[in-house]
Amino acid sequence: RIYSSGPPPLLALRLFCGAGDSENLLLGGARASRVSRRPKAMASAHPSQGLPSGMDPSMVDEYASQSKLLQEFVKIPSIGKAWVFTSKDENASRAMVSVSQSDLLANKKRSFLLNTHISKSSSKSVSFQWSPFPVEMSGVSAVVPSPSGKKLLLVRNAEDDDSPTKLEIWGPCQLENEIHVARSVHGSLYADGWFEGISWNQEETLIAYVAEEPPQPKPEFNDSGYKKEGSSQKDFRSWKGQGDIEDSWGETYSNKRIPALFVANISSGEVRALKGIPRSLSAGQVIWAPSSSYSLVFVAWSDDNGFQETPRKLGIKYCYNRPCALYAAADPFKEEADKPSTDSNKGDTAALVKLTADLSSAFFPRFSPDGKYLVFISAKSAVDSGAHNATNSMHKIDWPTDGKLEGSLSVSDVVPTVMSPQDGCFPGMYCSGLLRFPWLSDGRTMILSSAWGSKEVILSINVASGEVSRVSPQDSDYSWNVLALDNNNILAVSSSLVTLPQMYYGFEDSHTDKPCQWDWQEISSPFPKPSDKVSSLLADHKFSVIKIPVSNPSDKLPDGAKLPFEAIFVSGKDSASSPTIVVLHGGPHSVYPSSYSRSLAFLYAQGYNLLVVNYRGSLGFGEEALQSLPGNIGSQDVNDVLTALDFVKKRGLIDASRVAVVGGSHGGFLTTHLIGQAPETFVAAAARNPVCNLQLMVGTTDIPDWCFLEVYGKEGKNCFTESPLADTLTQFYQKSPISHISKVKTPTLFLLGAKDLRVPVSNGLQYARALKERGVDTKIIVFPEDIHGLDKPQSDFESFLNIGVWFKKYMSK
């Protein structure tokens, strides 16, 4: 696979000059309210005039000092993707690395590219010569190099309904073409997320991609009433109505309805839609097939989500349990006579072939370099059980050498679902993405990232034999992620909760008898070092991954659910006398890895220990442990958290009298459960968009099936309905934190997104207002423009600033 030996295409973009520096920025315009009851140590006679709404006069200095520290962490850039351009000289190559940085004043993330020259020696040492300045990718939604590296696609999605989407084709020294695609052809490209798919053909003449299908016409009205004849011209004496509701794919996709496939000819600028895909299918993740009548392979999700009685779109963000399949279709630019057709399947849908009819899930398709295999990931365990995420499997299709897809295709397993891993052994695949070209030069070995307990690791998978090996260091508790491949070498990033991300270059060690041994060399960093204060705070902390034995496991549990779960303990120099924050992930079927987290670093920099609990049900521990949680939420997960807390208490690692808890989504569900079920344990709590009342949530969330599955277990998938009976609603209430609210006495901070479709704001508001009614010290901040993640830069900043101040108020001696 040969790439251009010259520099990456020149981008006519302005240089990145750094994010705005505003050390006194405190609050971002969100609304706040609180109960004025305080501990005596924090009492203040009267609020000072001129303070922002909801600010405690006794904590003003704390707000100022913590906001200054948080900004030191915010300035640190994050590493995103990378692309390597190899050359005929095997000892030289070039790379581009995308980096992002939060701009608080503009309330957005700024992205930029760094270029580097890679020099390798025969002694397996490598040096990176970085360009002196990065290039800002202002207004760019996606960056996609061509297979040879000689061309580069930049996507600029329209900022308003009247502007076109722009596809810029760059060569080594110039802009070769700029394609403007009108809104009447399609809406914005899916440049990231679940449906994302932008792919060059091997000849580099066509680009296939996924974009929003043009919206259906809306009814128009004027001073005479309804306009029978619509018009594309603007008429300032008329207005458009709403028409019937169109289902969306929920959280983060609220403005997206039907992702569809398009192909652009980069020379002529012509764009054609791929016809024949039913509107009941949403397409994504398109790639080009080897020479074949069926040129395109893509993933499609059905509107009914597998629920025949409830045929509508449900939320898909973080939900791998939505049924999907691989399809093949013809290139729309081919001559009509070349399009395949069969007697049994004529008409518009004749060009579609379903490749994975016998699997409930198939995504991330990749062809082997020789075109013999189509390899893909499956979340069939999630689809079949109903859990929103679960242990993945890998499969392959033997692609016909003649390119004719007639009869049934052979689908075989590469990596099966791991049910109960042996101690220290491969726990199964947990894959959230693949490189566009994940292959080593043998054409059989894929390199990918996956969760392994509380760590992220790099795996190599031989798709011919099914052999799985761990490529990243075996003895490291750090998390590792692959960025790109340089022939048979790996560009990766590694970090820990107490170590900033650092790039590494990996060589396979051919001088050892041990299989899959890799040498890793640290790469000189192009980033400026963090401030002395941040460096000192990070250096003063350490972390360890602790195995927590399950407390009194039931005999009914499968063996995998009886295995120890894990917690990550972060501590400073004097942990035994320091206050501790218990940190809980959402999902519940996700995991808190050991990788660097700016938010958590800010919290432990305040002098806290952190206990990050990956309770049973988390990813990375095998399927039996994961599936033990559905049907037992609010009990098993709560007990696991308390067991982990008791573990560090009994070993004298923390001050048991000063413990706080924080979590978001299902982590907020656990947070509010814990302060009700263990009311004497926590001195403060913070919940971000928490699930507090399943009875209320089931009728308002974009994933009502989640409520049924997590409350009833596997049976929940079969009893899901949009009209639950009274007994079902009662069960939802009893499983909810609100059922324990009468026992709560812990001061609690709520951080809520007003546009959250996953856990609508009413859930947290109802619980918080009930706490205030009972006299519990409560603070509520609502971010009016935020969704579930609260990840707008200003909202994220204000959120964790308030968490830090809230905990300092109640955990100071």
- Residues carrying an active site annotation: 665, 756, 788
Residue 304 in tokens: 């009914």
As a whole number of angstroms, the distance between CA 587 and CA 389 comes to 8
Query: What does each C-alpha distance from 609 to 498, 543, 746 come to in angstroms?
Result: 12, 10, 19
The helix (run of H) or strand (run of E) holding residue 677 is: helix 666-677
As a whole number of angstroms, the distance between CA 106 and CA 25 comes to 12
Structure-token match 């020099």, residue found: 119
Count CA atoms closer than 13 A to 3's CA, side-chain side.
25
- Beta partners for 729? none
Query: What does each C-alpha distance from 378 to 324, 432, 482 come to in angstroms?
Result: 9, 11, 20
Query: What does each C-alpha distance from 95 to 81, 113, 256, 440 come to in angstroms?
Result: 11, 10, 34, 17
Residue 45 in tokens: 């006679």
> What DSSP designation does 811 have?
H
Measured between its terminal Cα atoms, the distance across the chain in Å is 62
Asked if 633 and 588 count as a contact pair (C-beta separation under 8 A), the reply is yes
Q: Which residues contact 780 (CB under 8 A, 6 or more apart)?
A: 32, 33, 34, 750, 752, 764, 765, 768
As a whole number of angstroms, the distance between CA 16 and CA 138 comes to 9
As a whole number of angstroms, the distance between CA 111 and CA 142 comes to 11
Distance of CA 329 to the CA centre of its chain: 29
Q: Which residues contact 70 (CB under 8 A, 6 or more apart)?
A: 602, 797, 800, 801, 804
Q: Which residues contact 90 (CB under 8 A, 6 or more apart)?
A: 120, 487
Number of Cβ within a 10 Å radius of residue 644: 23
> Could you give the strand order of the β-sheet that contains 499-508, starting from the edge strand earlier in sequence?
479-486, 489-496, 499-508, 518-522
As a whole number of angstroms, the distance between CA 70 and CA 601 comes to 9
CA-nearest of 495, 516, 497 to 507 is: 516
Query: What does each C-alpha distance from 264 to 300, 537, 557 come to in angstroms?
Result: 20, 51, 54
DSSP per residue, 274-312: -TT--TTEEEEEEEEPSSSS--EEEEEEETTTT-TTS-S
The helix (run of H) or strand (run of E) holding residue 204 is: none
The amino acid occupying position 311 is P
748-753 and 684-688 as β-strands: parallel, antiparallel, unpaired?
A: parallel
